[in-house]
Amino acid sequence: MSDVFRSIPTRDRTALRPSKQPSWTEPMLATLTEERFSDPAWIFEPKYDGVRCLVFRTPADVRLLSRNQKALNDHYPELEEALELQSSDRFVVDGEIVAFEGKRTSFARLQRRMQIADRERARASGVKVFLYLFDIVHADGYDLTGLPLRTRKKALRSAVAFRDPLRYSPHRNEGGESYLRQACARGWEGVIAKRADAPYRHARSTDWLKFKCVNEQEFVIGGYTDPKGSRHGFGALLIGYHRDGELRFAGKVGTGFDDATLERLGRRLARIERERPPFATGRLPRHAVHWVEPALVAQVAFTEWTRDGQLRHPRFRGLRDDKPARDVVREQAR
């Protein structure tokens, strides 16, 4: 019996199912909520400002895949190497790749690695990355998704030897509200509340809830404005989200860009220009505007939504290539 199965209480082993290790599995996703609570039936984990990553380890290889099944090995070769050194060689685990700015995870800093798909350039970038693992869904020929979350976490600690750059995601067993206050004071993204006895579901679920410190989500880029003054690249991005099969305009974001992003993103946008706006609704700007194919996804922070469905005080956080543009919708609290 492997260490993974020794960690599983006898009462929970009936939930194990023999199965071939999958080459892909949909990740479990959290639901945004405005609720704040403390409950011993839930655990509370940090909400990282990074990129979701599923790891598929076999005796033959290690594959790091994003939410949209993009291979990440060449972006983060040191993570691949750390996983190759594990004594366990058959597992699927779930986690988040992060980079730090001081003591906080920083999506902006991680951007410098996300844009590099060359192993040597990635190593030379100067951006150190870590993989925080928080769940395990398959091991040694068994599907673990039916196990309670607390049991899966014990199995995860048995399956992986945690040494940098691999880290176990810590959690609290109670005090969700106080933990969120601490998270916000420290500049974190927020907290993820997870029902402790819940199985792993390959979909968005209310068994995992997001407590956010700031409003932030993905938006589709549908156009851009000309730069003004000494600015180069572009002025602002025109962004939106999908609803009822249409791309709806959510406003424009003109802050949060450094010079390198303005140049690099400006070149990408110029290559995908189109004549007509991709947005079906909204009061669109008409002057000094360039429309683009709605293929790129931006992470945007903002203070609130206005009554007419526009963002107030939006700020660009970075590009996301781990979520298809067609899947971007307005995130609303349950």
Give the amino acid at 111.
Answer: Q
**Structural domains of the chain, ranges and CATH numbers in brackets:** 3-17+26-212 (3.30.470.30), 215-327 (2.40.50.140)
| Contact status, residue 317 vs residue 238, Cβ threshold 8 Å | no
Give the amino acid at 255.
Answer: T
Position 1 confidence tier, pLDDT thresholds 50, 70, 90: low
| Contact status, residue 194 vs residue 173, Cβ threshold 8 Å | no
What does the pLDDT read at residue 195?
Answer: 98
Q: Considering the chain, what percentage of its residues have pLDDT values greater than 90?
A: 92
Rounded CA-CA distance 211/192 in Å is 6
Q: Is 174 helix (H, G, I), strand (E, B) or coil?
A: coil
pTM: 0.92
Sheet holding 204-212, edge to edge: 29-32, 204-212, 190-195, 42-47
The reply to whether omega before 46 is within 30° of 0 (cis) is no
Rounded CA-CA distance 85/67 in Å is 24
Decide if 194 is catalytic: no
Which tens digit of pLDDT belongs to each residue from 194-220? Answer: 999 999 999 999 999 999 998 999 999
**Among candidate residues 237, 205, 248, 211, the one with its CA nearest the CA of residue 314:** 237
Rounded CA-CA distance 65/74 in Å is 11
**Among candidate residues 20, 102, 105, 5, the one with its CA nearest the CA of residue 318:** 105
Rounded CA-CA distance 16/141 in Å is 10
20, 47, 194, 210: which one is catalytic?
Answer: 47
* Cα distance between the two ends of the chain: 43
Which tens digit of pLDDT belongs to each residue from 18-28? Answer: 999 999 999 99
| Contact status, residue 328 vs residue 219, Cβ threshold 8 Å | yes
Phi, psi of 82 (to 5 degrees): -65, -35
What does the pLDDT read at residue 3?
Answer: 84
DSSP per residue over 9-33, as a string?
Answer: -GGGGGG-EE-PPPS--PPPEEEE-
Q: Is 155 helix (H, G, I), strand (E, B) or coil?
A: helix
Position 93 confidence tier, pLDDT thresholds 50, 70, 90: very high
